[in-house]
Amino acid sequence: MSQSIAQTTLITHWIGGAVSQASPIRTGPVWNPATGVQVAEVNFASDADVDHAVATAKSAYAGWRKTPLSRRTEILFNFRNRIDQNRDRLAEVISTENGKTLADAHGEIARGLENVEFACGIAALLKGSYSEQASTGVDVYQIRQPLGVVAGITPFNFPAMVPLWMLSNAIACGNTFILKPSEKVPSASLLLAELAHEAGVPEGVLNVVHGDRLAVDRLLAHPDIRAISFVGSTPVAKSIYETGTRNGKRVQALGGAKNHMLVLPDADVESAADAAVSAAYGAAGQRCMAISVIVAVGSVADPLVAAIRNRIPNIKIGPGLEQGSEMGPLVTRQHRDHVAGFLDSALAEGASIEVDGRDEACASRDGFFLGASLLDHVSPGTRCYDEEIFGPVLSVVRVQTYAEGLQIINDNPFGNGTAIFTQNGGAARRFQFEVEAGMVGINVPIPVPVSYYSFGGWKSSLFGDLHMYGPEGIQFYTRGKVITSRWPDPGTSKVDLGFPQMR
């Protein structure tokens, strides 16, 4: 149901503090998932566009890294305020292109803002260390310096928050930044760039190039890009990590997820069911920290499945921009059909479909809607367990013991987030100690760390050494330099060919 391109807006790049005037060679459609109508066309960057952005960022770097910390902080405070003043506008843009509800869009803006607020503390975060009198008359100290031009490649599901995870700390550290957002949701990044410009971020410090794989390939190959931050699916994360590091770049590449919620027999069933429904179906399951598998231990399984099943009909499905909607559509028709395909194969794989989201109410809508689905008796080794579904489909795996449940979670190739629901502090502590995942919730279903910790999974959910944002983000966007200094006293100076020893 596409409109003619003549009627749609052309969304293009932001380079050097202005909208790029380059004519597009290739473009792609941008959809409103709630209506199924194309709302814009986005310009896909050519190699020349990427090269132009990198050259612009490179020439801005010299001035930006010299900009005093106090001025950078002031600009970041302004940026924080500009975003805060434009929350409604940003939320509407996010909801229009991504489909999530306005409340959810406001949630991601709030979590993104936390990262700008963290970066406002850059003066304290960049403090080095100093050792006086390491040797007689010799002092040793370490400073952290920016890398240069760095790039971020982001997914469709958090059009504002994930770019803010990256760019806030990257520019605060003195780097210049090129953002390549998801081509499905290009407008939020442009609005952020505009707000940053209004806040006083100098031209060329923050640039946005739109596009698909070709733009990413050019960023990965460009010799002037020092580091790449990536968030998206596991196959792409792995390939970006391999190519980027082979090309000598620092890379942190966060991938997909299959987040398990272990529910012990002593858990409060009603609150565990509330948490499961919220975490599985919020944003139509399109969150990297969504709960997609419940591991129900022993006697809790029957009442828990019944409690979740009872809650599903109450979820208000509708356009994200409509007041009262709790769950919006999926991002594209193709993704909706892909997610629905897991329900087609689930029965044959031995699962039971407790609630089927492929209902009439959703099918008759124009947008890319799919209702909430609940699968029970799901087993590892089946497609709906092994693959990341990334939609409103919650699977229940039944086990008899805590140890059996833990084994299933630890055997899973993904290790992003996980949660335990129990009233037993000892069991929760044991789980925290034994589970193999990067982020753990104890009676908290979506344990996204606050901005002064760092975000990242284990195993196939992250390629690289450093997690995103927080202290590890500052480490990622800077490199250390150690200075050994002596201010010679001419009276004690002499030739000494021995290896320097700190005495």
Sign of the CA dihedral with 89 first, then 445, 316, and 345 last = positive
CB nearer to ligand NAD: pick between 303 and 471? 471
Cβ 287 to ligand NAD shortest distance, Å: 7
173, 288, 362, 384: the active-site residue? 288
187 binds ligand NAD (CB under 6 A): no
Structure-token pair, residue 239: 């390939």
- CA angle (9, 13, 19) in 5-degree steps: 80
Q: How far apart are CA 239 and CA 235, in angstroms?
A: 6
- The window from 115-123, 226-234, 299-307, 336-344 that contacts ligand NAD (CB under 6 A) reads 226-234
Cβ 31 to ligand NAD shortest distance, Å: 14
Q: What is the DSSP secondary-structure string of 206-254?
A: EEE---SHHHHHHHHH-TTEEEEEEES-HHHHHHHHHHHHHTT-EEEEE
Q: What is the DSSP secondary-structure string of 459-486?
A: ETTEESSS-BSHHHHHHHTEEEEEEEEE
97 binds ligand NAD (CB under 6 A): no
Cβ 425 to ligand NAD shortest distance, Å: 29
CB nearer to ligand NAD: pick between 176 and 189? 189
- The window from 11-19, 79-87, 155-163, 296-304 that contacts ligand NAD (CB under 6 A) reads 155-163
> Out of 288, 308, 378, 406, which residue is the one contacting ligand NAD (CB under 6 A)?
288
Per-state percent for the chain, helix, strand, coil, to nearest 5: 40, 25, 35
283 binds ligand NAD (CB under 6 A): no
> Out of 47, 117, 194, 212, which residue is the one contacting ligand NAD (CB under 6 A)?
212
Q: How far apart are CA 339 and CA 356, in angstroms?
A: 12
> Out of 207, 461, 475, 478, which residue is the one contacting ligand NAD (CB under 6 A)?
461
Q: How far is CA 13 from CA 46, 50, 178, 213, 224, in A?
A: 11, 10, 11, 16, 19
Known catalytic residue at 288: yes
Cβ 468 to ligand NAD shortest distance, Å: 7
> Out of 150, 257, 273, 304, which residue is the one contacting ligand NAD (CB under 6 A)?
257
104 binds ligand NAD (CB under 6 A): no
For 400, other C-beta atoms within 10 Å of its C-beta total 11
- The window from 16-24, 66-74, 225-233, 272-280 that contacts ligand NAD (CB under 6 A) reads 225-233
- Residue closest to ligand NAD, measured at CB: 232
CB nearer to ligand NAD: pick between 64 and 281? 281
Contact 364, 357 (CB under 8 A): no
Give every CB contact of residue 100 below 8 A, 6+ residues apart in sequence. 94, 108, 283, 284, 286, 320, 328
Residue numbers at the binding site for ligand NAD (CB under 6 A)? 153-158, 180, 182-183, 212-213, 216, 231-233, 236, 254-257, 288, 388, 390, 416, 457, 461
Active site residues per annotation = 288
